[in-house]
A = this chain, B = another copy of it.
Amino acid sequence: MVKTVGIVGLGLIGGSLARLLAGRDVEVVAWNRHEKPYAAARRDGITCVASLEGLAAEKPEVLFLCNPLKAMPEMLRRLAPVLDRETTTLSDVGSVKAMVRSQVAQAGLADCYVGAHPMAGTEFSGFAASDPAIYDHALWSVTVDETTDYERFLKVATLITGAIGNRVIVLDDQTHDRAAAMISHAPHVVSTALINGLASSPDRNIAAALAAGSWRDMTRVALTDPDRTRAMVEEDADNVEALLRDLADRLTSFADDLHDRDDAALTKFFAAGQPFRDYKSRERESGENGALGADGHIERIVIDIPNSGWQRTFLDSARRGEHVVRFLQPWRAEVETRSKI
């Protein structure tokens, strides 16, 4: 059981996590780049310290970097000389994992690092908007590589399934970042390209006048802060690039097939996504949706984790659509089996 957690950055994600843990008898020590949230945080039982170095000196068992990604290199540079690597496992909640791991390695902290990314958040930011409930029924990616120490991995993962009370999938950085590019980063670019197309058309006011639900849905994310979208895309550039090229190929093929009125090819195109449609309709019917906490088709089974190649066993489990809910002993995990695509 992890008894002390350090939090760097009391924003929406870090602040909510600190409050959640403090409310569950974990000793939480936090540092924020300014002291504005300290009074409120202290009322919630969070120990706030004056410096990042002071936070490291508290030797928390797990230290979560919850600062913005662009501050990561500086945080790591300052932590490197002061972190007690024996006691403290370093983690983070960043939305891309390969970039953070390489920055961690650059700072010489690779041996005590385990990555993490909770699927949680709202459109707001800052400690004032923080709320432990953003973690209700959340799924975390815990990211590991071949060199990750299993004890440290367990420390982070059991903190999430235990005190935090969430589900976990265990991934390598590339799988995480590719999936994030697929479901978020690349679609943001597509949405932006759609509004760019409209904005450059002589018929833009006519098109906007005729726009209804489908256009509104497809372009909503293009209306959010383009600088934030750009940063997100550049942090996961290789995956976004590959996915956009793949999508451009799919669209070009479809345009060719439509031009040729290739009936079989068009049929194939509209059938290809059917497994995803079926999955969504099963999810809807059964109420199987993490956010609702309903259980639909969910069943629990126990999987054995091998001593060597445990990373692969967890990855295969995640690929089968399973989520870890509990570690029964160091080498066994209880997983929820869910609807699969």
Chain A residues within 8 Å of B, Cβ to Cβ: 119, 139, 141, 169, 171, 175-176, 178-180, 182-184, 187-215, 217-223, 226-227, 229-230, 233-234, 237, 240-241, 243-252, 254-255, 258-259, 261, 266, 269-277, 279-281, 318-321, 323, 340-341
Determine if B193 and A141 form an interchain contact, defined as CB atoms under 8 angstroms apart. Answer: no
Determine if A277 and B246 form an interchain contact, defined as CB atoms under 8 angstroms apart. Answer: no
Residues of B within 8 A of A319 (CB): 202-203, 205-206
Tell me, in angstroms, the Cα distance from A204 to B254 when the chains sit together. 22
Given A197-B247, A205-B318, A206-B179; A277-B222 close (CB under 8 Å): yes
Determine if B341 and A275 form an interchain contact, defined as CB atoms under 8 angstroms apart. Answer: no
Interface centre among A119, A203, A266 (most CB of B within 10 A): A203
Determine if A209 and B240 form an interchain contact, defined as CB atoms under 8 angstroms apart. Answer: no
Tell me, in angstroms, the Cα distance from A205 to B226 when the chains sit together. 29
Closest 7 CB pairs of A and B: A195-B273, A205-B321, A226-B270, A196-B272, A179-B207, A248-B248, A183-B215
Residues of B within 8 A of A220 (CB): 214, 217
Determine if B255 and A244 form an interchain contact, defined as CB atoms under 8 angstroms apart. Answer: yes
Determine if B233 and A244 form an interchain contact, defined as CB atoms under 8 angstroms apart. Answer: no
A237: min CB distance to chain B, Å: 5
Residues of B within 8 A of A254 (CB): 189, 193, 244
Given A189-B251, A190-B190, A241-B259; A183-B196 close (CB under 8 Å): no
Residues of B within 8 A of A207 (CB): 179, 182-183
Q: List 8 A-B contacts (CB under 8 A).
A: A169-B209, A183-B207, A191-B214, A199-B341, A205-B318, A226-B277, A241-B255, A245-B252
Determine if B190 and A251 form an interchain contact, defined as CB atoms under 8 angstroms apart. Answer: yes
Determine if B248 and A199 form an interchain contact, defined as CB atoms under 8 angstroms apart. Answer: no
Tell me, in angstroms, the Cα distance from A209 to B237 when the chains sit together. 22
Determine if A183 and B212 form an interchain contact, defined as CB atoms under 8 angstroms apart. Answer: yes
Determine if B258 and A241 form an interchain contact, defined as CB atoms under 8 angstroms apart. Answer: yes
Interface centre among A191, A240, A261 (most CB of B within 10 A): A191
The residue on B at minimum CB distance from A290 is B209
Tell me, in angstroms, the Cα distance from A208 to B278 when the chains sit together. 13
Residues of B within 8 A of A193 (CB): 247, 250-251, 254, 269
Pick the contact of A318: B184, B192, B194, B209 (CB < 8 A). B209
The residue on B at minimum CB distance from A123 is B213
Given A119-B212, A221-B214; A250-B187 close (CB under 8 Å): no
A14: min CB distance to chain B, Å: 19
Determine if A233 and B210 form an interchain contact, defined as CB atoms under 8 angstroms apart. Answer: no
Tell me, in angstroms, the Cα distance from A237 to B234 when the chains sit together. 35
Determine if A210 and B141 form an interchain contact, defined as CB atoms under 8 angstroms apart. Answer: yes
Determine if A198 and B182 form an interchain contact, defined as CB atoms under 8 angstroms apart. Answer: yes
A50: min CB distance to chain B, Å: 36
A333: min CB distance to chain B, Å: 16
Pick the contact of A209: B209, B217, B321 (CB < 8 A). B321
The residue on B at minimum CB distance from A175 is B203
Given A199-B341, A247-B251; A192-B222 close (CB under 8 Å): no
